[in-house]
Amino acid sequence: DIQMTQSPSSLSASIGDRVTITCRASQTISTYLNWYQHEPGKAPKLLIYAASILQSGVPSRFSGGGSGTAFTLTISSLQPGDFATYYCQQSYSAPPRTFGQGTKVEIK
């Protein structure tokens, strides 16, 4: 199985801050990497697929990058609705389609 490791596990930030989350794969996955946002009590929401393609309707302050084994999710200017847990997921090899352990973004 491909293991996905996110860092940090949690972070505190203020409105307007630039935030970057890192995701590393245990083996190369090209650009087959997805990012999801998960707010408590809601269904997860797809933000980015294929490492850098913004899902329709997702604000442009979200961006993704990377290839191979190292990937990033960046929020250019944190907004109130962005406080949530973010997960990466590899889509290179299945089964299983493994998720990272999550990064919780909290209000400073």
Partner 1 sequence: QVQLQQWGAGLLKPSETLSQTCAVYGGSFSDYYWSWIRQPPGKGLEWIGEVNHNGATNYNPSLKSRVTISVDTSKNQFSLKLRSLTAADTAVYYCARGRGARGDLIGVYLDYWGQGTLVTVSS
Q: Which residues bind to partner 1, rule: CB under 8 A?
A: 1, 32, 34, 36, 38, 43-46, 49-50, 55, 85, 87, 89, 91-102
Query: Checking phi first, is residue 81 left (phi over 0); if not, alpha (psi -120 to 50) or beta?
Result: alpha
Q: How far is the CB of 21 from partner 1 (least distance, A)?
A: 14
The 3-state DSSP class for residue 34 equals strand
CA dihedral of 62, 34, 12, 69, whole degrees rounded to 10: -110
Based on CB atoms, which residue is closest to partner 1, 33 or 78? Answer: 33
Is residue 77 within 8 Å of 16, Cβ to Cβ? yes
Q: How far is the CB of 49 from partner 1 (least distance, A)?
A: 4
Q: How far is the CB of 82 from partner 1 (least distance, A)?
A: 18
Q: How far is the CB of 100 from partner 1 (least distance, A)?
A: 7
Based on CB atoms, which residue is closest to partner 1, 66 or 100? Answer: 100
Based on CB atoms, which residue is closest to partner 1, 67 or 93? Answer: 93
* Token code pair at residue 54: 């913004």
